[in-house]
Amino acid sequence: MSKIHAAITAVHGYVPDYILTNQELETMVDTNDEWITTRTGIKERRILKGEGLGTSDLAVPAVEALLKKRGISANELDLIIFCTTTPDRVFPATANILADKIGAKNAWGYDLQAACSGFLFGLATGSQFIESGKHKKVLVIGGDKMSSITNYEDRATCIIFGDGCGAVLLEPNDEGNGIIDSILRSDGSGVPYLHQKAGGSVKPATHETVDAREHFAYQEGQAVFKFAVTKMADVAAEVMERNQLQSEDIAWLVPHQANKRIIDATANRTGVTADKVIINIEKYGNTTNGTIPLCLWEWEDKFKKGDNLILAAFGGGFTWGSIYLKWAY
């Protein structure tokens, strides 16, 4: 009997309507379109406006459209893994909240926190439930309302982040397609360079933490850049080498969208030519867990059954990783 792989059988995404352009940011902080474009590749990002809306509200339209596309009901889902750095609340899990909103009565679920690498960590863990035979339908969501932890007085970070969400369905595949290999890494010594200072158990919220704006993402951009640019490229090359893949074997490189220069470095290191590198950073900025599933959604029509895809990410923590998968439809 051939090995069961966990294959993506449907993908969908959602970005909110409001477009925050570089020009609007120029009116908020001391920056300019030329600086942002050359340093990051970002032109605009989406922002979820509206009182009382959180990351689960980005996921609902993405998941409902995905289920419709696949022709299944929410009750058929076995497991929901919600990869996010901006959960609706500290507890309960956003996966729970989403299950209720979409009417998934038979699924259990949990949130997964690995910053910008979260979606890859979620794919890797979700695939285990399929490969083991435990589950038949696993929903993996990557989404963030980054605007909820972005300091719009800090020009070094507010230009980068945006809101967005993507979701994939994992199902068993016995044709040799699906998730073939993954290499995932983490290094907690990276904490000082990218983190949220307050709001966790180390430093719960107080008037002082709010006044000091410590509930936003804090980043030392240059340090993060140095790690990201080497780690993401190295791990993508490593997963290719381990699977005897040459650059010409790769149909698509799907990099986390943090910075166009980091994406270019990963493409150069793997030898994948620019026409096979998926980039939409100019429209959405860094949506953290959302970047890779949003790329898969936007490029879905171009993928062919059996295409070799290399996914690669780097995130706060530090976390990083790469997944090799064969597209299944």
Residues numbered 272 to 301 that lie near ligand COA (CB under 6 A) are 286
Q: Which residues, listed in sequence order, are joined to residue 76 by a DSSP beta bridge?
A: none
DSSP per-residue string spanning 132-164: TTS-S-EEEEEEEEGGGG--TT-HHHHTTB-EE
Q: What are phi and psi of 124, to 5 degrees?
A: -65, -40
Q: Does 43 bind ligand COA (CB under 6 A)?
A: no
Q: What is the DSSP letter of 190?
A: G
The residue of the chain with the least Cβ separation from ligand COA equals 221
- 179: helix, strand or coil: strand
Q: Tell me, what amino acid is at 15?
A: V
How far is residue 201's CA from residue 184's CA, in Å, rounded to a whole number? 26
Q: Measured from the CB atom, is 9 or 219 closer to ligand COA?
A: 219
Taking 3-state DSSP, the helix, strand and coil percentages for the chain, each rounded to the nearest 5, stand at 40, 25, 35
Question: Binding to ligand COA by residue 258, rule CB under 6 A?
Answer: yes
**How many residues sit close enough to ligand COA to count as binding (CB under 6 A)?**
20
The only residue of 26, 39, 181, 307 in contact with ligand COA, by rule CB under 6 A:
39
Using the rule CB under 6 A, which residue among 74, 98, 112, 116 binds ligand COA? Answer: 116
Q: Which window, 6-14, 30-38, 143-151, 233-241, contacts ligand COA (CB under 6 A)?
A: 30-38
Cα 129 to Cα 35: distance, rounded to the nearest angstrom: 45
Positions in 142-161 near ligand COA (CB under 6 A): 155-156, 159
By CB under 6 A, residue 123 contacts ligand COA: no
Contact flag: residue 195 with ligand COA (CB under 6 A)? no
Choosing from 189, 222, 301, 304, the residue that interacts with ligand COA (CB under 6 A) is 222
Backbone angles phi, psi at 209, to 5 degrees: -65, -35
Give the whole-angstrom CA distance, residue 136 versus residue 252. 27
* Site for ligand COA contains 315 (CB under 6 A): yes
In the complex, least distance from residue 307 CB atom to ligand COA, rounded to whole angstroms: 26
Residue 261 dihedral angles phi and psi, to the nearest 5°:
-70, -35
* Nearest distance in Å: CB 144, ligand COA: 11
Compare residues 33 and 64 and give the one whose CB is closer to ligand COA: 33
- Asked if 295 is an active-site residue, the reply is no
Stretch that binds ligand COA, among 63-71, 78-86, 125-133, 219-227 (CB under 6 A): 219-227
- CA nearest to 311, candidates 268, 264, 256, 259: 256
Least Å distance, CB 155 to ligand COA, is 4
Largest CA distance in the chain: 62
Q: 286 an active-site residue? A: yes
Q: Which of 22, 83, 96, 116 is catalytic?
A: 116
Residue 207 among the catalytic residues: no
From 256, 259, 289, 295, the catalytic residue: 256
Which strands make up the sheet holding 252-255, listed edge to edge? 178-186, 319-326, 308-315, 252-255
Please give the positions annotated as active site. Answer: 116, 256, 286
What does the binding site for ligand COA look like in residue numbers (CB under 6 A)?
Answer: 31, 35-36, 39-40, 116, 155-156, 159, 221-222, 224-225, 228, 258-259, 262, 286, 314-315
